[in-house]
């Protein structure tokens, strides 16, 4: 089976291997190199954004202003969100897409390798601009990641740089997504029909579509902010006939699809991992594809559920309530399918599977609190409280971030050729899972009791749960150092991985040697191999 994999190995003589030194990374057009760059970049952002979160939680450990000044606190909440969303989760998924999609569809590389290099090399520059605002006299952005005017327009000099950093990242996202769409449509090996593609490829195809459709809208929205601030336009000023609420509509037209951008590739990852360790084909492959597509479609017509309290005609409140609740249906289909895949499977619980199961359970908790928030009259109570913070952290941390951790454990043997340290992996999972719940579950309680989000101080009755959440935060944060250690250790050595790596693994990526050679599938895999390696 690894016949042509070995072939790719031998082919390397006629082709450039990696260039020596720094040049390799600066000029590379290799999807694996670029994937690696993305993954390291996002891991570093994970720790930078995490440090910001710990500053927030340290301040909130007890009531009163203890450690940081309120303005800096606000810029921490704002920056933490931007760094985690645009610096961690999105680039990490792009990194995985780079590594895995060509190998999963039997392609030699991405469709546009040079553009691929550019998509990555924008990121460090864009984040230099963004993070540099923290060192400006005016301080970093402090009006929240949602950048609502008029508050955001009152930011100091850093305003312009934040907007341009967003434009800059947007260029990267759109180019990266175009590349992914072109790769999936144009680079599949003969015989790899759309409905044979692994779900990670499917979910990324749909995610890329969402990105291409909504990032430009976000770019438009922040451009309007920029001209309102510096060129005297009145888009968001009622005095000039505009409307600050209009910003919220445009922003969330991007913003809600964006949260699906942050979760659809995670669905794809989980749909790859669970069948492997349940040793059963994925239950309901077709319905998974259709559910993903309907989630993507619905995500365009639910945006104003973020604005129930902002003010809208009654008909709009109702429309957005029902459309939002409708999203739970395809989401429920997915959760059902994962559970059904595990049903009567001969399961083993290696670290990737632990994280995947953790994902299914805790993402569902976040989905259910989302459903509560979707109910307009209820949301009027919950909005802008810690309940919302609990909701989106459940879908994003034990959701999106767990999928990233699961993916790393699942594929790192393929990347490095070595098995990771299973014992450390399990310790990482259990400490993370205990602490993440200590961290976020109490937020439901203080939120329902009325504690507002994005504030450095709070009323005394919230003190106990906040102290507990802060302990969870530090526990969770330091648990991630175990992850860093596992990754480094695995790169440096360990038990050699087989080509299949996992007993029940299905997919073309497991037919090439471990570690995957610098170039794979320079010749398309035979159709028979494709037919044998899909669900």
Supply the residues annotated as catalytic: 80, 109, 145, 172-173, 256, 258, 260, 271, 305-306, 331, 334, 453
Binding residue for ligand HEM, selected from 206, 373, 406, 439, defined by CB under 6 A: 373
From the list ligand HEM, Cu ion, other proteins, none, pick the one residue 367 interacts with, judged by a Cβ distance below 5 to 8 Å according to partner type.
ligand HEM
Neighbour tally for 448: CB within 10 Å: 15
CB of 221 to ligand HEM, least distance (A): 15
Name residues contacting ligand HEM, limited to 241-260 (CB under 6 A). Answer: 259
Residue 522 touches other proteins, criterion: CB under 8 A = yes
Nearest CB to Cu ion, comparing residues 67 and 368? 368
Return the residue of 331, 466, 505, 514 that touches ligand HEM, per CB under 6 A: 331
State how far the Cα of 421 lies from the Cα of 494, in Å rounded to an integer: 8
Helix (H), strand (E), coil (C) string for 411-459 = HHHHHHCECCCHHHHHHHHHHHHHHHHHHHHHHHHHHHCCCECCCCCCC
Beta carbon nearer to Cu ion, 169 or 307: 307
Site string for other proteins, 307-326 (x = CB under 8 A): ----x-xx------------
Distance, in Å, from the CA atom of 416 to the CA atom of 516, rounded to the nearest integer, reads 8
* Binding span for ligand HEM by CB under 6 A among 366-374, 485-493, 501-509, 521-529: 366-374
Please count the residues of the chain: 535
**Residue 496 bridge partners (DSSP):** 418
> Given the complex with ligand HEM, which of 95 and 367 has the nearer CB atom?
367
- Using CA atoms, how far apart are residues 304 and 325, in angstroms rounded to an integer? 13
Contact flags string 323-362 toward other proteins, x per CB under 8 A: ----------------------------------------
Question: Residue number with the shortest CB distance to ligand HEM?
Answer: 370
Find the angle CA(300)-CA(304)-CA(307) to the nearest 5 degrees.
155
Residues 167-196, one symbol each (x = binds other proteins by CB under 8 A, - = not), give xx--x--x--xxx-xxx-xxxxxx------
Residue 421 found at the interface with other proteins (CB under 8 A): no
Residue 377, preceding peptide bond in cis (omega within 30° of 0):
no
Cβ neighbourhood burial of 301 (10 Å; 0-12, 13-18, 19+): middle
- Of 51, 49, 53, 31, give the one whose Cα is nearest residue 41: 49
Contacts of residue 336, defined as CB under 8 A and 6 or more positions apart, other chains included, come to 284
| Residue of 499, 521, 331 whose CA lies nearest to 417 | 499
Residue among 123 and 327 whose Cβ is closer to other proteins: 123
**389 to 428, contacts with ligand HEM by CB under 6 A?**
391-392, 395-396, 399-400
Query: DSSP letter at 88?
Result: I
In the bound state with Cu ion, the residue whose beta carbon lies nearer, of 256 and 383, is 256
Closest approach, Cβ 98 to ligand HEM, in A, equals 21
Pick 75 or 116: Cβ nearer ligand HEM: 75
Site for other proteins in 487-506 (CB under 8 A): none
Partner that binds at residue 328, options ligand HEM, Cu ion, other proteins, none, CB closer than 5 to 8 Å by kind: ligand HEM
Total residues binding ligand HEM (CB under 6 A)? 25
What part of residues 6-25 is at the interface with other proteins (CB under 8 A)?
A: 15-16, 19
The least CB distance from residue 162 to ligand HEM, in Å, is 16
Q: Is 139 in the site for ligand HEM (CB under 6 A)?
A: no
Considering only residues 221, 438, 469, 512, which one is a binding residue for other proteins as defined by CB under 8 A?
Answer: 221
Cα-based distances in Å from 38 to 33, 63, 127, 211, 448: 9, 39, 13, 17, 38
SS3 letters across 43-54: HHHHHHHHHHHH
Q: Is 157 in the site for other proteins (CB under 8 A)?
A: yes
Backbone torsions φ then ψ of 418, nearest 5 degrees: -120, 150
Pick the closer one to Cu ion by CB: 376 or 514.
376
**Region near ligand HEM per CB under 6 A, out of 232-240, 241-249, 376-384, 506-514:** 376-384
| Options 27, 290, 430, 485; binder of other proteins; rule CB under 8 A | 27
Q: Is 250 in the site for other proteins (CB under 8 A)?
A: yes
Which neighbouring-strand residues pair with 385? 452
Q: What angle do CA 246, 153, 157 make, to 5 degrees?
A: 150
Taking phi first (over 0 means left), then psi (-120 to 50 degrees means alpha), and beta for anything else, what does residue 311 get?
A: left
Cβ of residue 179: shortest distance to other proteins, in angstroms?
Answer: 7
Q: Does 203 bind ligand HEM (CB under 6 A)?
A: no
Which string of b and e fits 59-97 if b means at least 16 CB within 10 Å? bbbebeeeebeeebbbbbbbbbbbbbbbbbbbbbbbbbb
């Amino acid at each position: 089976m690894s016949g042509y994999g070995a072939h790719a190995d031998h082919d390397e003589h006629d082709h450039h291997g990696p260039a020596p030194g720094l040049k390799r990374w600066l000029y590379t057009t290799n999807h694996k190199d670029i994937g690696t760059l993305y993954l390291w970049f996002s891991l570093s952002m994970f720790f930078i954004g995490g440090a910001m979160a710990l500053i927030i939680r340290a301040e909130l450990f007890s009531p009163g202003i203890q450690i940081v000044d309120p303005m800096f606190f606000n810029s921490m909440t704002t920056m933490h969100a931007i760094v985690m969303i645009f610096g961690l989760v999105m680039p990490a998924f792009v990194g995985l897409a780079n590594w895995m999609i060509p190998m999963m569809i039997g392609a030699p590389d991405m469709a546009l390798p040079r553009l691929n290099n550019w998509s990555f090399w924008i990121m460090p520059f864009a984040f230099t601009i963004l993070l540099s605002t923290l060192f400006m006299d005016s301080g970093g952005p402090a009006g929240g990641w949602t950048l609502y005017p008029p508050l955001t327009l009152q930011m100091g000099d850093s305003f312009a740089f934040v907007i341009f950093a967003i434009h800059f990242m947007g260029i990267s996202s759109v180019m990266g997504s175009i590349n992914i769409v072109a790769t999936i449509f144009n680079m599949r090996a003969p015989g790899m029909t759309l409905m044979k593609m692994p779900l990670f490829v499917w979910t990324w195809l749909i995610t890329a579509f969402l990105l291409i459709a909504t990032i430009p809208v976000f770019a438009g929205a922040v451009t309007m902010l920029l001209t309102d601030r510096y060129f005297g336009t009145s888009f968001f000023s009622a005095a000039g006939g505009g409307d600050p609420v209009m910003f919220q509509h445009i922003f969330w037209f991007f913003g809600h699809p964006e949260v699906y951008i942050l979760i659809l590739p995670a669905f794809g990852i989980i749909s790859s991992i669970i069948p492997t360790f349940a040793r059963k084909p994925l239950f309901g492959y077709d319905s998974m594809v259709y559910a993903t597509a309907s989630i993507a479609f619905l995500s365009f017509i639910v945006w104003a559920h973020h604005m129930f309290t902002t003010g809208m005609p009654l008909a709009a409140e109702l429309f957005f309530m029902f459309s939002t609740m409708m999203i739970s249906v395809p989401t429920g289909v997915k959760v059902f399918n994962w559970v059904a895949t595990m049903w009567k499977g001969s399961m083993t619980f290696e670290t990737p599977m632990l994280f995947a199961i953790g994902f299914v359970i805790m993402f569902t908790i976040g989905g259910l609190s989302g459903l509560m928030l979707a109910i307009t009259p209820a949301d009027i109570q919950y909005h802008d409280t810690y309940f919302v913070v609990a909701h989106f952290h459940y879908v994003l941390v034990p959701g999106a971030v767990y999928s990233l951790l699961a993916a790393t454990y699942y594929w790192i043997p393929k990347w490095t050729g070595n098995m990771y340290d299973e014992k450390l992996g399990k310790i990482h999972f259990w400490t993370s899972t205990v602490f993440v719940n200590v961290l976020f579950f109490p937020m439901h309680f203080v939120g329902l009791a009325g504690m507002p989000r994005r504030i450095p101080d709070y009323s005394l009755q919230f003190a106990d749960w906040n102290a507990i959440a802060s302990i969870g935060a530090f526990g969770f944060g330091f648990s991630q150092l175990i992850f860093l250690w596992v990754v480094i250790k695995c790169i440096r050595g360990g038990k050699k991985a087989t080509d299949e790596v996992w007993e029940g693994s299905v997919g073309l990526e497991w037919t090439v040697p471990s570690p995957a050679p610098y170039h794979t599938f320079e010749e398309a895999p035979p159709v028979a191999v494709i037919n044998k390696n899909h669900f």
